Structure 1
């Protein structure tokens, strides 16, 4: 069969008018989803990888034909007209919560500041009693939602059966995921990897140059937190290396950085970047706002050597781009998927979201998480699962109606697992404070997150456009990247560079790169003690007990302790958190499947002191020899990040976290879903 793209090229060559060529191109692209309907199977996995690859290659080849036939500018204009978009306008609320009284069908929207809150659920704010009364018919379903009730119980409790996550774990299906498994959001709170107050000192660092490497950065949260914690009067030079070998991760972060650095109106830049990052739907101004951004990236340029290698963000900052043709093709194809009529439609996006986040067969997994949440937080989280938008609960959202192709695969399936949560990557204490400062309540948890992200992105974008900052983005294998830098093969990065901080995330886990290879590649690239005595490499071990054949014999997990060991941990937990121990009066408290029992069991590991097993694990994985080869040593006391969840910087490595209380207790033990086996380790030059 003749290649359809070659036939298209031949047809274009026979046409004389550019308008006819543009029409032919658009018709071709609209017809390329050959299957017609989207098949979302129960697992959310891709059912036809051959189709995905073929489609991706065809879109990329069509971009080459646009360039070949000299149609760049006219093609962009045609895309704008095809989207049926309104002219660019101001988007959603930025600085303060708006009144929740709006109804698109009735043509009603009150834009006054919300000064009152619904006393029933505290999820929605209003400017007046009259607006609240007018909106009640729409709001009462959420206000009186069964998930908000104090008497709510998981279905497995009401039906008096064992929950699926117990049954399936007992049948050997441990670690099962639901969704496509792409890690596009962080699942540990953002780190400031400089932590100047405990290291170089805030005032001393104001004029100091720093080189920082984020070797497997996943998303931008650690970069943003680190830059935002620099002193406001920082006048040094900041050199950031950010790398990941997942093309979609790199494309998403390249796009977000370019949006933040390129869209002139800061509010528009923040709004669009936030939703690209976290929402399934983007503002209806997406196409006209993003085309100039994509133009800077020159997506229609088929020759990799002619694509931009450096973008400037203001007079002092720049972004160096060192990515493969494959990553550039993902960028081009995903941009096309979100732009062309016949691509990812709102109905398809909704279907894909629902099939993962609200799958009936996963109800027990969702409700296990809901067990620990306050009622209004359950309602808010259920709303997010259904609609996929990070926005105030009662906030105007009709403008968020364009599917976010940067969260979907080429076959229009959602990349995320059903366990993905926007909360896991942030300090929720700070999130709640931001919500309060912008007029919403802690019950409106997504509203709090929305305003927190706005404030973090605002600080970052201002610094991106004013600080002396060089960001070098790449898509290399983590170990190869170190060699490529030393061989002067990464654009904008000198081969002689050494780093003040190196953050490697959890690629030290054996499932990824492993401890030995990471230390041998990156340890020698730390600055020595004479250059900076605070220079450190930070690694995260998330899966160590699950992938270690000696885990049981070394009592690395709670279930391996035996009856006596479990009794000791239970006794410690009961003395610290008596309110979480099931007691007479709790519904079905004697059942091992009761909701109160599940809340306790999910947090018991917090009181398990497993440091001896962890250090044996490190030794077993060759840490001693790798440290010698790399010329580094493990710190006995962490100075950048706390060694365990719930502990603090400077805590001994073999001491249990102190008793959690108040908001910190709720956030750590209910909201963020930790295993409490996570361990941060820091290495410095020997």
Structure 2
């Protein structure tokens, strides 16, 4: 009987490569995670995992000191997602796109790369986030990528490391400081804290980058003035990312991964740089100060994972095109992000794309646009408005009230939103038969023989490894739950229909830009559930980290 939930005991590298580079390979190839029958610590220690105990903390991840979302945890979305017919008819149109609570720049990158290849219009993009640290990072990464001067290939790799690596090459660190000086050099440091400043920077081609920020944003620049060294930075990162108190939560994720991907996960956290396995990391000698506090404390949560920001299938395809094995999944991510950034830079150079960066509460930004505070943006002007999961903070009705009037009165215009928390405090299926069917579907998706597993569990009720497999199946069963009725009740509580109608909008019965939930086709209805191969399920939910309850909504003009 299968003893773990791995799908393929895929080796991290071929034997000839191991022999040729054994000193580099030894630490990873001999890692305990590379053993096919590795088990979580709680299984080896014959105890209950922390996440099933009644005393489990309400907040089950992250640092108690400084926790920020510096990397996206939902795969990048092309917010245009134009069909071939739409692409042909949109090639000459002027477009206005708003990212109301952007987080990082992954959706911006994917959307620009989704423009028609022969685009000749003027695309104006408003990129906003409330967090000064997040928006400062976005601004500096974009400037490093898009400024005239460096080759596109060099700029793309630098931007990648500024975004995803905890440690940098000296050239990357120099670019970070260069971009900060370029962006903030004209700022009046004596201005009042509640004042604002605007700086317009030239990009490749005829495009522009405009920053309209509060003077309070300058506080985030304090991280660049810090003096801690790279060893202190890496120690702080590892202290958070591999905290002993969080071992059971990490092991729950690792137990479902292929051995090679467990090793890749561990290596990524050990070296702190996003690189292919074969790459030499010795040149990475500087901390990425944009990811640490001024005193050198790591700022992301311990479950932050660069892979969660991109579709795993696309990441693996990029790796394959570049000759990388799928086992080296962080190497595949490296080449995928580098390609995406380089393509975006080429498009900014070739097209006319202006990017406007603001740092405001999303509601206040919408009100400011309605009042004419941002020339060129006004009511009825946006072809796409992407609001992230702001609905989880203020409610869907308020999001529609704030942003509905700003959508262009055009049948192709779309307001996008998703919710991660709609299911909280809502009862799940109470019928044990329904629960059993969901577990059966999870077993098929994870390539587990459930009947043999249950038989073995009956014969060996004290076998902790068998219990671990059952807990894993229970964890993933929600991916197959048809909870459309419960979600519809939530929509009614949010007054979605009357609020949308008040602004001349309606929610699409079938989405056109992003599927309604992870693992279903784009045109799926609200009751459709994933019907996936084990490989697709692994890529989406296991290594890709998809959160089953997330629901994506699209609103269009009536």
TM-score (norm. length: structure 1): 0.74
Summarize the alignment of residues 425-504 of structure 1 with structure 2, pairs less than 5 Å apart: 425-490=309-374, 492-495=375-378, 498-504=381-387
- 1:623 and 2:513 correspond: no
On the 8 A contact 1:281/1:401 being kept in 2, the answer is yes
- Tell me the equivalent position of 1:96: none
Change beyond 3 A, Cα 1:578–1:297? closer
Change beyond 3 A, Cα 1:446–1:580? farther
- Tell me the equivalent position of 1:635: 508
- 1:544 and 2:544 correspond: no
For 1:277 and 1:575, the matched residues in 2 are separated by 37
- Tell me the equivalent position of 1:513: 394
- Aligned to 1:285, what secondary structure does the other structure show? helix
On the 8 A contact 1:384/1:390 being kept in 2, the answer is yes
Q: Deviations over 1:568-617 (max 9, x none)?
A: 43355557666263355689687577332132112100121001011111
- Tell me the equivalent position of 2:211: 321
Q: How far is 1:344 from its partner?
A: 2.4
- Tell me the equivalent position of 1:256: 141
Change beyond 3 A, Cα 1:472–1:580? farther
Point out the more displaced range, 667-676 or 562-571. 562-571
Change beyond 3 A, Cα 1:139–1:623? same
- Aligned to 2:162, what secondary structure does the other structure show? helix
- Tell me the equivalent position of 2:4: none
For 2:489 and 2:142, the matched residues in 1 are separated by 41
For 2:152 and 2:436, the matched residues in 1 are separated by 56
Change beyond 3 A, Cα 1:609–1:322? same
On the 8 A contact 1:344/1:405 being kept in 2, the answer is no
Q: Which has the larger radius of gyration?
A: 1
Residues matched between the structures, number: 539
- 1:673 and 2:545 correspond: yes
Q: Deviations over 1:380-428 (max 9, x none)?
A: 1011122221101231111111101111122321111111100111011
For 1:166 and 1:416, the matched residues in 2 are separated by 25
Change beyond 3 A, Cα 1:145–1:386? same
Q: Deviations over 1:483-514 (max 9, x none)?
A: 11122213x543356111111010011xx122
On the 8 A contact 1:154/1:367 being kept in 2, the answer is yes
- Tell me the equivalent position of 1:11: none
- 1:310 and 2:200 correspond: yes
* Aligned pair partner of 1:654 in 527, 547, 550: 527
Change beyond 3 A, Cα 1:448–1:329? same
For 2:368 and 2:240, the matched residues in 1 are separated by 39
Summarize the alignment of residues 526-545 of structure 1 with structure 2, pairs less than 5 Å apart: 526-528=407-409, 532-545=410-423
For 2:158 and 2:146, the matched residues in 1 are separated by 12
For 1:134 and 1:440, the matched residues in 2 are separated by 17
- 1:273 and 2:159 correspond: yes
- 1:608 and 2:495 correspond: no
By relative contact order (CA 8 Å, sep 6+), the higher-ranking structure is 2
Change beyond 3 A, Cα 1:308–1:269? farther
Unaligned 5+ segments in structure 2 are: 1-8
- Tell me the equivalent position of 1:570: 439
* Aligned pair partner of 2:41 in 155, 158, 167: 155
* Aligned pair partner of 1:231 in 101, 116, 125: 116
On the 8 A contact 2:87/2:115 being kept in 1, the answer is yes
Q: Deviations over 1:272-310 (max 9, x none)?
A: 211111110011223443444233213474156896521
For 2:444 and 2:90, the matched residues in 1 are separated by 43
- Tell me the equivalent position of 2:3: none
- 1:595 and 2:468 correspond: yes
- Tell me the equivalent position of 1:525: 406
- Tell me the equivalent position of 1:136: 22
On the 8 A contact 2:10/2:258 being kept in 1, the answer is no
For 1:430 and 1:287, the matched residues in 2 are separated by 29
- Aligned to 2:87, what secondary structure does the other structure show? coil
TM-score (norm. length: structure 2): 0.91
* Aligned pair partner of 2:50 in 147, 157, 164: 164
